[in-house]
Amino acid sequence: MHFLSFTSIVLLQLTFLGVLHGAKWTYTGPEGENHWSEHYPYCGGAFQSPINIKSELLRFDPTLRPIEVQNYNLSPKEQLTLGNNGHSVQISLPSKMYISGLPQRYTAAQLHFHWGSSSRPTGSEHMVNNKQYAAEMHVVHFNSDKYPNMSMAVDKSDGLAVLGVLIEIGEFNPAFEQFLKFINGIKYRDQKVQVPGFNIRALLPARLDEYYRYDGSLTTPPCYPSVLWTIFRNHITISRKQFLSLATALYSSHAQDSVPVPLNGNYRKPQPADSRVVLVSFKEGRGLHGIPTVTSSLVRKQIVQQLLVGDLADLADEGLYQLLPRGSEKIHAGKKKDLKNQQSETLAKSKQQTLNPSLWKKSQTNRSVGKLGLAEDALCYVSLEQRVFHQLKQSHAETQLVQALRDAVFPDLNLKSYLDCKSDLALPAIRHILRGRPPTDEAKELDRSLTKALMNQKKTSTTIKQSVPVTKYGGLSPATVPRKPHSQGYPHPWLLPMEWED
Contact 83, 191 (CB under 8 A): yes
Q: Which of 357, 268, 209, 214 is nearest to 35 (CA)?
A: 268
Query: Residues with Cβ < 8 Å from 106, sequence gap 6 or more?
Result: 98, 99, 141, 142, 143, 144, 160, 161
Long-range contacts made by residues 88-97, C-beta under 8 angstroms, separation at least 24?
A: 88/112, 88/113, 88/114, 88/263, 88/266, 89/113, 89/179, 89/183, 89/186, 89/246, 89/250, 91/179, 91/195, 93/139, 93/200, 94/197, 95/144, 96/71, 97/69, 97/70, 97/71, 97/72, 97/200
Specify the DSSP element, H or E, that contains 391.
helix 381-395
Specify the DSSP element, H or E, that contains 91.
strand 89-92
Residue type present at position 158: D
Instruction: Return d(Cα 379, Cα 255) in angstroms, integer.
Output: 37
For residue 292, report the phi and psi dihedrals to the nearest 5 degrees. -70, 150
Burial 103-138 (b: 16+ CB within 10 A, else e): ebbbbbbbbbbbbbbeeebbbbbbbbeeebbbbbbb
**What is the bridge-based pairing of β-strands 278-280 and 58-60?**
parallel
Specify the DSSP element, H or E, that contains 430.
helix 427-434
Residues in the chain: 502
For residue 382, report the phi and psi dihedrals to the nearest 5 degrees. -60, -45
The runs of H, that is alpha helices, within 269-336 are 297-309
Q: Catalytic residue at 332?
A: no
Which residue is catalytic, options 2, 35, 39, 87? Answer: 87
Task: Please give the positions annotated as active site.
Answer: 87
